[in-house]
Structure formats: structure tokens, C-alpha cells
Structure 1
Amino acid sequence: MAATATPALRPDTAVDATALIADIERYLAAHVPRTAHPLVTKTTAQLVAEALHTPTNEPPVATPELTVPHRLWRILPDWALAITPARRLHGAGRPITVTQHLELTMLVIQQYGWHRGALRSRTGRRCILGAQAVLYRLGYGDEHTARDAGARIQAVLTARGITEPYHRWNDRRGRTLDEVLHLLRAATTH
């Protein structure tokens, strides 16, 4: 089975959380669930949430925009991602599907770079599990979404006769970025 080639990242590629969030939001906007009628622009879940929301008379609290040099986002500890605009905007987490989580995991790996041997490298490259952690810290999905996505990745490996956990599979010597992306693509349809 031939894997598709993925463009190599330049070592000087500066990815910041703001750019990553913008890419994630573009992806999610393109994959919005359809509503029952074309004139209805909100999903049922959005309408229910809006109906249950009780407005307060308090003015919204202005939060200062966090400005961090672009390259610094790559090397900040993962917990610092929780203070990004997406996490502040969506609170505890923006719901996403398992398939969206897997596709966004590929996006994180393609933007930050891929790594093996640890969750992340000193320059900010991420393994599969590290990319999943980025999504969680940014507020996309929750621990159940990440766990279910991990189970789907593991199911693909099991179907291929591989019994080791996917995070160890990621760290094997000789593993390539293309193999990792191919596994994630397969998990989106599993």
C-alpha cells in the first residue's frame, strides 16, 4: 500500500497557537453539521443551548489579548496552551467528533512537525499523543473525545496485527511521518 507523500516542514517554520487555532476554526467551519432546513443556520444543539442560556445584566468582561512571540508558542509547556484565545472563548471545551479530533491531530502534526520518543521535542514537534494533548489543551474536545480517538487508532493497529499501544508504535525506530499520517487517516474511517 503506497502512502501519499507529505510536504516536509522547513526547520524554521514558525507555527504559533493563534495560526493553529485559525486553521482549526477554518476546518471546523467547513465541517459544520447540516441543519434540518436550509433557512435555519444553527444546529439543534446550538438552538437548545441558546434557549437554555439565561442572559445576565452584567457587561461582558474584556480579556486582554495574549501576545506571545510566534516561535515561543512552539516551545511553551502544553499547560500554557490553555490560556490561548480558543480556550478562553470556548471555556471547558468546544465539542468535536472523534473523526474531527483525528483529522485535527493530523493538522497539528503537519503544522508543528512530527516527533517520536516523547510527547514533544524541544522545538515543539509532536507525536500522535502530543498532538492530541495540544487539541485538548486548546479546548477542542474533551478527554472522552481524545480517549475514543485513541481507541480508534488502536483498533486500526490491531486490525493490522499490531498489539503494541499506538504511542509506542509512534516511537519505533524507523517510523516515518507518512506512516503516522496514513494511520491517522485510516482511523478516521474505521
Structure 2
Amino acid sequence: MNHAVLTWGPLALTPEGAALVAEIQAYLATLPATARPTVPVRDFYRFGSTVQPWHTGFPDPRPTLLDRIAHRPARPVPVSVADHLALADRYMTAFGWTQGRLWDSTGRVCLLGAQAAVLAHGYGTPTTVLRARVQVMEVLHATGRPHASPDRFNDAPGTRQADVHHLLARASARALSLGI
């Protein structure tokens, strides 16, 4: 079977594919302007996006030769408080969220469990974690949720996973605005 191939942006399309794109564009033209996608259809890639690890954009902790000789773990990758909170959020997104325990048998974590996992994977120091928890507490109190600790907020009956993600995002933004 011989198919002609047309190129269209990053895509190589068969005539049937080009007809489908034309049909989609014709449909989109009938929608009200507010309902149209803001990204042009031609910018979508054929195979979609790939799943990225939760620590994408940060270097992997690598032991030096001296670390290997001394049989010690690699030095932690230095991260800011804002980065630590963002990594905790990404870790929780990747592995799931739980209440009432640090982690469960499926790998889901609570807020403290996510922070501990980020630290255990070699990102930041215990001081970074403590400073991050201070930022989380500041956001909790500033938003009228005076819990005794971030963990109590995580485990409160009315708290949802989205609430924890939102809290981590706000605390990360706060830390970034403070330059820490």
C-alpha cells in the first residue's frame, strides 16, 4: 500500500490525516471565539507528551569518588525552600496523597511524608525542610486556618488532596517572593 505523506508543521500526515485536520479546523471555526482552543492545532505533537519523573529539572544526587570510597551517601542537592515545597508537591502528585500516616503500602504520602521523601531522595537538608514547614505554617495562618501543624491540617477530616496541593503551591510562591 503506497500512501502519500504530507508534512504539516511537526507532523507528517497521510491524505486521510490531512483531511482529519481540515475537518477539525472547520469544526473549530464554528465555535464561538471564547470556546476555541488558544493553542493552534498544528502545535500538538503526534505522540503527545511523555511522563516525566517528579524531580525533572533538578540534578540527580550523585556520589563522588570520595563518597563511594567512604561508603557514604551522596551529598544532598542544594535546593531553595521554594524548590523543596515544589518538589514535595510534585512528589505527592506522582505517588498520591494519604491522611493519618506518612505513607501507605501503595506509596501514597501525606504532606510530611512528601517532604521526608524529597529529603530522603537527596534534595535539600533537614534545615531546608524546617524552613519550608515554617512557610507552610505562615500560609495556613495567613489564610485563616490556624492549625497546630501542617500535619494536623493534612489529617483534618475536611482536607482534600487539592487543598494540600494548593497550600504547597502558595507556600512555595511565598518562599520564592521572599527569596528563600
Summarize deviations over 1:17-62 as a string: whole Å, max 9, x none: xx98x541x2226xxxxxxxxxxxxxxxxxxxxxxxxxx9x9x76x
Paired residue total: 116
Contact 2:54 2:91 in 1 (8 A): no
Aligned partner of 2:97 in structure 1 is 114
Q: Which amino acid aligns with 1:166?
A: P
- Write the mapping of 1:25-64 to structure 2, written as runs, cut at 5 A: 26-28=56-58
Q: What is the RMSD of the two structures over their aligned residues, measured on CA atoms?
A: 2.5
Aligned partner of 2:116 in structure 1 is 133
1:123: Cα distance to partner? 1.4
Say which structure, 1 or 2, has more relative contact order (CA 8 Å, 6+ apart): 1
1:145 equivalent to 2:128? Answer: yes
Gaps of 5+ in 2: 1-50, 60-64, 175-180
- SS of the residue corresponding to residue 76 of structure 2 reads coil
User: 2:126 and 2:80 mapped to 1: Cα distance?
Assistant: 12
- Write the mapping of 1:1-190 to structure 2, written as runs, cut at 5 A: 22-24=53-55, 26-28=56-58, 88=73, 91-164=74-147, 165-190=149-174
User: 2:133 and 2:123 mapped to 1: Cα distance?
Assistant: 15
Gaps of 5+ in 1: 1-18, 30-55, 64-86
Question: Could you say which structure has the larger radius of gyration?
Answer: 2
Q: Which amino acid aligns with 1:152?
A: Q
- SS of the residue corresponding to residue 27 of structure 1 reads coil
Q: TM-score, normalised by structure 1?
A: 0.55
Classify 1:142/1:176 alpha carbon distance in 2 versus 1 (closer, same or farther; 3 Å). same
1:160: Cα distance to partner? 1.5
Classify 1:149/1:176 alpha carbon distance in 2 versus 1 (closer, same or farther; 3 Å). same
User: 2:144 and 2:94 mapped to 1: Cα distance?
Assistant: 30
Q: Which amino acid aligns with 2:171?
A: A
User: 1:23 and 1:130 mapped to 2: Cα distance?
Assistant: 15
User: 2:125 and 2:80 mapped to 1: Cα distance?
Assistant: 10
Q: Which amino acid aligns with 2:133?
A: G
Q: TM-score, normalised by structure 2?
A: 0.58
User: 1:136 and 1:166 mapped to 2: Cα distance?
Assistant: 17
User: 1:23 and 1:174 mapped to 2: Cα distance?
Assistant: 27
Q: Which amino acid aligns with 1:170?
A: N
User: 1:173 and 1:114 mapped to 2: Cα distance?
Assistant: 14
Q: Which amino acid aligns with 1:123?
A: T
Q: Which amino acid aligns with 1:27?
A: G
